[in-house]
Amino acid sequence: MKIPHRFAWSGLVCALLAAGASLPVLAQAESAEVLEAVALPGKKTKASAVSTYIVRLKEAPVVAYDGDIPGLKATRPGKGRKIDPESRAVLDYAGYLQARHDAVLASHGGGSKVHSYVYSFNGFAARMSAGQAKQLEASPGVMAVWQDEELHLDTNRTPTFLGLDAAGGLWSQLGGTGTAGEGIIIGMVDSGFWPENASFSDRDSAGKLVYQNVPHWPGKCHPGEAFNASHCNQKVIGARYYNQGFGGDAAVKARYPNDFNSPRDGNGHGSHTASTAGGNANVSALVNGINLGAISGMAPRARLSIYKSCYGNAATSACFTSDSVAAIDQAVADGVDVLNYSISGSTTSNVDAVQVAFLFAVDAGVFVAAAAGNSGPGASTVAHNAPWMTTVAAGTHDRLYSSGVTLGNEVSYFGVSVHGGTTSTKTILAQDAGAAGMPAGQVLQCWSNNTGGGLNPPTGPAGNRLDPAKVAGKIVVCDRGGNARVDKSEAVRAAGGIGVILTNVLTGSNTLDPDPHVVPTVHVSSANRQAIYDYVIAQGVAATSKLAPSVITGGPIAPDVASFSSRGPARAAGGDVLKPDIMAPGVSVLAVTSPAIGNPFDFYQGTSMASPHIAGIAALFKQRHPTWSPAMIKSALMTSASQLRSNGTAIAGGPFAFGSGQVNANGAVDAGLVFDAGFNDWLGFLCGTGEAAGAACVTLKIDPSDLNYPSIAIGTLPGRQTVRRTVKNVGSSMADYTSAVVAPTGLTVTVVPPMLSIAPGASKFYDVTFDRTTATIGTYALGSVTWSDGTHAVRSPFAVRPVLITNPPEVVSTGAGFTYPVTFGYDGNFNVLARGMATPSTILGSVGDDPTDAFVRGGPGTVEIPVTIPSGTTVARFALFDTDVDGAHDLDLYIYQGATLVGVSAGGTSNEAVTFAAAGAFGTLPLTVVVHGFETAAAVANFKLFTWYAGAPAGNMAATGTPSTVTKNSTGSVSVTFSGLAPATRYVGGVLHRNGTASLATTVVTVNTP
């Protein structure tokens, strides 16, 4: 059968888990006394409440439409080409899609349409009730409906640190800073830009125009508050803003009165990311009279197109998904080459609205860089796990603004600062300098009125937190956290202080940040905090300190992974994709900000700052290799990345912290081999993860680990597994490559064939087999496979997690028997044991409505019910049902073990269930079930809480497993039959999978008899 060049992703069903869905919590031991903690769910919306929803329809967007509708010509651009949004074909098809949006919305009760998306995403955003949205989701032609989310921004020296300006470096290969990035357009979906900054000028310092017009550019410069069309130029060639998802101009002003309803940046974040990616070269960063040096974007001659979808102030930000999707959609229509997205996102799904929009953008040839998130260093916190996006971790770099603090006892402590020093001055702890009536925590952190009472809404009483009578003329010791670092010096200055010692705290970030403050400030580590506190407390009013002037030095050992940078393993795709992909500088990055919040330049940190480094470098690669696909560029960057610090030691943290390593742009230019992938590959991946289904999956579905990706991940390795990769020789001559494996003890890794001879432009595949011998079960084994021809080293990191068995977590039936597959990760015996089926007990209860609609344990609208899972239980379930409450209520379940939340089910009705399954059997487990009255139809909702405890066999279920003797990576099956089940009864049970002597895992069995 001939496979089409590209399958349309229409008629496929997105298999998304609903926000309130519960999966079994699988204990990993024969007897589990401590259950795994879970997070509280996101904010819910009442069924009657009107909110914004994003609706995706089945037809292809403009960039993917192949002309299968009579009378409408194809609009999908050819390889290497961009769509023309003004062409007749595009206008006709876009008009058709918009009419479809209106018709679908009208047929389901209408609503206020907020956005129509047609270019990289086919759908719309509209205001409607939750009930309408649920009906719409079930209608033909609708692929998915998502409630709009409020997301947030993931918030000089780096070109040199990355080697771009080195002799023979990438800039020089492209003709120097005067041409590096020329002809490439970088789109920034962010908080706007500050147009007056020299980084965004199209003229040199003498006022001479040094940029030329971009021919056939369809982008627009939208006028708005404090912004008109003249603020765009031949450097920033487009600027638009989107706030309808936010609620329009009035809603923005109500929440962020000092931000702008225009592309002008009132937050600083967008200016910072834009100037990092593509700001002009050698712009002097002058702040408060301090020359911080010259800054340059990664692609200094690239053009910028700004798409503002985020709003905020110095402390907080908000970006609604509906606005961001509109920005992405327009950026693709405009014809950007690269998109940067430094906004938070999903950690669990590859097919939310943003990532679907990016899927079609990348298919249209747009390289997408996205921030990994700032939720580290905890495991499985990484966001943006879709394999078509390049997910960027944050690391340190090697410029240091050295300073220090010398106390009155002549003991000195290292710190960083950009300021001149002070003389020996009276010193006071902020905790002792509070103004009357101010919150103690805000006093300790030196909040100014701008952060406290000046916020909208205020976070405390108006006024500065520090007392001028106590602070005037002194240096103040302020704790990090709570407010912006520069806000602390604002508070000290407002109270008459002359300097700040800013101390890290043990539970906070460990970075030292040389921010430009309004009074001399030295930032010291948490290790030095206690000694400074002890001295000041002991000396009392006699305490003094002296701040040393800043000295700019190079050469600190770098990079290290930032503590805040989100880590893998990825929760999406069952851990079968290794994220983050790569690391770039994201700590103390100097770039443009917004004078609306303070300084025109500032040091920011976050994966937000790392991502535009990769976006800018990708722009250079687009210029250097114009025919390369986004996947090829990504591959070159990943396989050439470095895992070493500047002193030759290994970067700590491993691939779940930094992906393939620190970006090495110069080394990536001549990549040797690349791993390419396209739409069909990604669709096959989604079929394999269960996030897509339909006829195309019959042909395209793959094991997600087999995606042709520059790294390798296997989230569940049943003893032995082989994955396949295909590499393309992008060199100019025949090359002979030899593989080399670095593998941990207990894991055998074999590459077949071990050598590849590849002609220029040709591709060849190879297989990698992972065979667990003694590697720890349930723990990731890490290593790498590197191909070398003596000139190039093409490295793929791997992360594989051995398991003893793979089995479905749950099977649901109406009473008919069934069979399910299992895969084994060991050599030995296999048998199964039936547990249950158990019938439920019920507990009657009642709960009132929560007027706050925000769950807090012990808060309004909650009732607590103590329960105990009996010893020997394999499966326990707690559930509510719409049919067993006395009205149209929306009740939710929260399960606690002591003070720890271990289970939650919070859907849109009272159909809620939380299930716990042990690999063998639980010991006695006291728990507390909390029922929350999120929305009740009366003052009080009466309910039945159903409880099941399945342990001993009940004689009504039989299970048989085959074969009885198994080997690694072999498959088997389990057959389950039932007898004597009563009608109209809800049963819960489980099947224990055993190796003859010990239990390995449990499959939950649910039966609802008619």
Catalytic residue positions? 190, 269, 608
Instruction: Round to whole Å and give the CA distance between 390 and 706.
Output: 18
Alpha-carbon span 774 to 526, nearest angstrom: 40
d(CA 463, CA 466): 9
SS3 content of the chain, % helix, strand, coil (to 5): 20, 35, 45
Of 802, 702, 786, 673, which Cα lies nearest the Cα of 747? 802
Gap between the Cα atoms of 975 and 822, Å rounded: 11
Q: Are strands 971-978 and 831-838 parallel, antiparallel or unpaired?
A: unpaired
Query: What separation in angstroms does the CA of 150 have from each of 314, 318, 320, 719, 802?
Result: 18, 6, 5, 42, 37
Of 473, 536, 470, the closest CA to residue 503 belongs to 536
Q: Say how far residue 133 (Cα) sits from the centre of its chain.
A: 26
Residue 293 makes CB contacts below 8 A (sequence gap 6+) with 156, 157, 284, 285, 552, 590
Q: CA 38 to CA 863: how far, in whole Å? A: 20
Q: Which has the closest alpha carbon to 356: 632, 83, 74, 55?
A: 55
Question: Tell me, what amino acid is at 426?
Answer: K
- Alpha-carbon distance of 348 to 569, in angstroms, equals 11
Closest CA to 744 of 687, 825, 799: 799
Query: Tokens representing 593?
Result: 């900000």
Instruction: Please give the Cα distance from 813 to 975 (Å, whole number).
Output: 13
**Three-state secondary-structure class, residue 769:** strand
Helix (H, G, I), strand (E, B), or coil: what is residue 458? Answer: coil
Report angle CA 185, 390, 58 to the nearest 5 degrees: 85
Nearest-CA neighbor of 992 among 938, 920, 923? Answer: 920
Cα distance between residue 869 and residue 662, in whole Å = 48
- 138 CA to centre of own chain: 28
Give the torsion through C-alpha atoms of 741, 728, 368, 572, to 10 deg: -50
Q: State residue 165 phi and psi, 5-degree precision.
A: -95, 10
